[in-house]
Amino acid sequence: MRPALGSLGVALVTASLLSGGPAAGHEPAPAPASPLTTRPALPAIRPAPDFTLTDTTGRAVRLSTLRGRIVVVSFIYTQCPPACPLLTRRLALLEARLGAAGRGEAVTLLSVTVDAERDSAEALAAYARGFGVNLAHWHFLRDDGARLAPVLATWDEWTRRLPNGEIDHPARVYLVDARGMVREIYSLEFFDERQAWLDISALLGERH
């Protein structure tokens, strides 16, 4: 595990990312520049725990039905301080790069809320629209607390509600291969969409 585009829209997202304010709550500082691993090894870590959650249209999405595709799983919530928006912006850069390279059909992004109480389907849809994401390839998922809690537990995504209403949580990003194996786990602080692009490219190369 690591400590973990030419369009105008991508440029604007990049500018927004680089101009973020000071860290607060569980928000990390922007990922420091670090050498990229151009030939990542990516050994299998463990099987990705299966789950079924509901997207913003009310459709059930089951992780295991996405076999054959690369899946990027992240954990966010819509009322998060700048941490989750920072991560989502980085993922938006990744999604845009995948689309520009013609690889959008081969990769699915799943963002799971950790806030079952406040994140309705409407709230998640509005959050997604704010980043201009392609909801054909990127699903924002939720469920009620009783159904969501075991999913968070199996992915080791603990939560702790703070007195100010914020939710402290690890906000890791998981890279799952076409066989359903976790191949990389990125920490929020060090998630770099450029490295994720290289890692995804390596996994796609395995299929050929």
Which class is 50-206 in CATH?
alpha beta
pLDDT in tens, 70-114: 999 999 999 998 899 999 999 999 999 999 999 999 999 999 999
Q: pLDDT digit string (tens) for 107-139?
A: 999 999 999 999 999 999 999 999 998 888 999
Whether the pLDDT of residue 5 is over 80: the answer is no
* Rounded Cα gap, residues 68 and 57, in angstroms: 23
Instruction: Please state, for a pLDDT cut of 90, what percent of the chain lies above it.
Output: 75
Q: Residue 88 and residue 84: Cα distance in Å, rounded?
A: 6
Residue 32: DSSP 8-state: P
pTM: 0.84
Nearest to 141 by CA among 34, 53, 39: 53
Which element (helix H / strand E) includes 182?
strand 181-186
Q: Which residues lie below 8 Å from residue 34, measured CB to CB, with a gap of 6+? A: 190, 192
CA distances from 99 to 3, 48, 87, 187 (A): 26, 25, 18, 24
